A and B are shown apart, each in its own frame.
Chain A
Amino acid sequence: MAAITTVHDPTGFEPETSRRDLSARRGRGDRIFYGGAFGAGIIVLSIMVAVGLFLSLEATEALRKTGISFLTTAEWQPDRGVFGIAAVLTGTVMIALVAVSVAMPISMGTALFITEVAPPALRSWLVSAVDLMAAVPSVVYGLWGLYFFQGQVIGVSRWISSWFGWIPIFAVSGADSNNPIADSTVFTASTFIAGLVVALMVMPIQCSIMREVFSQVPLGEREGAFALGATRWGMIRAVALPFGRGGIIGGTMLGLGRALGETIAVLLIISPRFDINFNILEAGSNSVSSLIALRYSESSGFGLSALMAAGLALFAMTLVVNFTASAFIARSRSGASSEA
């Protein structure tokens, strides 16, 4: 600590004859400090790497047994040796895609409203509200979705299926458009409803990143657009959106990453099924994380290995999505940090 604090007597000035050593020698305190900080870094690193490695190691047993058919099998019966993630992975991706395609316009509109339209007094309130939305636990969204939102959305599901049922993903088997009172159960617990609820959970993440990016639009370019006679929307389209493109894409993908991993809200809403189902309005869906939550307790050693393999696939997917998102955000002109 007191390595280079040799105080010269100011009266007796003596010119230095030899070259002064400029390299700092760390004192004992600093060495302990470095050791501690490095230790903390290493512990965190090893925890994180351990999770990844352990998942991969445990998953190999199951993966070795099934090989490539792990990706193409829809069933999940590890004890019979027939299992694969085709259905659950499709379900996960479908739910996440519904969530993101609903959440993205809303979060972009909200972010633009906060940065460009809202009066400053309202602005800080809106920012707090969006942050609060991110902090509400997922089980609360799940409860709300199951007991309140589902009842509201079924009418919309029915309307979409009766008018756009000819588009394959909106088709619902068992729905009769001539008899609207028939039964609404064919529309409940669907990918669509789960996706809408997850959309609410990913919206704040996307919104906060987009807001960050839009607030960094250079004032000069903003004013330049106004000086050239642009309306507010003209300015947004010509300046803010191109400037924030990286943030918009990155934020959207971060939301996608979160949507892929969501467990409890999806588990509450969907009724699990094990076939590849592209009809998003139809009852029943599945996701990797809800599969794990449903099956972990009744699984044998091998079943657990199979679950690990499914989890590994999910993790690989969220990793790729998140890294792509960070790359987009970092490469964009704005370069806003990717704080979730």
Chain B
Amino acid sequence: MIQNFEINSQQIDKIKKITKEEKNFRIKNLELFKAAGFPNKRLEDWKFSDFKNIIDDNFDELDTSYASSSFNKIDLLTDFDHNYIFLVNGNLHSSDFKFEEKNKIKISSYDKSINYKESKNPLICLNHALADNGFFLEIEKNYKFKKVLVIYNFFTNNIKNKILNNKNKIKLNEDSEVHMIEYTINKSEFKFINNVYENIILEKNAKLKNLCVQAGQNDGFFHKFLKNKLSFNSEYTNLIFSSGAKFNKLDIECDLIEEKCKCNILSALFLNKKEHQEIKTRINHLAQNCNSYQRVKNVLKSDSKGIFQGKIYVRDIAQKTDAYQLSKALLLDSDAEFNSKPELEIYADDVKCSHGSTSGSIDEESLHYLMTRGLDRENSTKLLIKGFLSDVVDFIKNPSIKRFIENRLEEQVNGY
């Protein structure tokens, strides 16, 4: 149970170089957060993830002061050539675009603009009030990344009980392309909360492919709200392999504002003991001829909990929309839980929208078949688990990146 948790508005005073307008915006959001408190299951968007309750169970105190970003050197990935952005406790620490034309890429500390809509999500209000770091990446017109960009999201050991609020922005100008891997490395032995607001803007014909993955299991509590805006013929793909955190809620809102946009959200998760992971999406089809594809696969072991809340909204003018949504869960233990809430809200009459959700346990017949070939129950089960998740992994076309993700999944499953 959290005792004496109070955020003082003096904390906002500590933020440097702040305009009066920005300060007012922050104070207003702080008031909104204070009025609402941490979100609980009474809020529809949080009905399966009672954040207040989870925080109370896991923290005795919370600290919103900023964390320093000193750290010892970490080993970079050697699995494939890559550029990188290095974040320490959410703070932009350094970057290296050695495979790229540097004048085509702008990277800076977070974007200070305050053009954000008021939110009903208390964690977003908290972020608007206190976030004072993050990164802003912008890619010039016509520039296509030659190598993948890894965002090392590194957490140090001195962030016990902290709530880290970060704000990121990624903007791809016309005809630009990037393939990113968001790789979270957590060296904290203590529990902490990371609360991120990320804004992604894809201009005409731009393509962004993102892959998120955690290095190992950890005691982090993550909430991330992604606000994406897609213009004509742009394509956004997010492949989520973020198993390992104690709590992770990814809330993705995608506005397809012009024709021929594509939005793909796929996930393959293996959740273990006490892990809680929610993917919530809202795909807003606001123009005609757009395409969205969602495929969520969860394997749940022990008392883990997986949630998928997926909403497809189709505006009246968004004719010829093609929207697909599927969630599947494989439950390995009777204590494991999967909740799925598909929602379709359609105001156009010439659209193709489908949704489906299934959950079940390991098929004993399949298991028997594999075992009659000499594999023991454990290895047969692992094989079925990997098979279950493989169609999402197969979306990765680059062989070395695919192997890297397969190895991470293998580590997760072998912990089984």
Q: Do A and B come from one complex?
A: no
Q: Which residues of A contact B (CB under 8 A)?
A: none
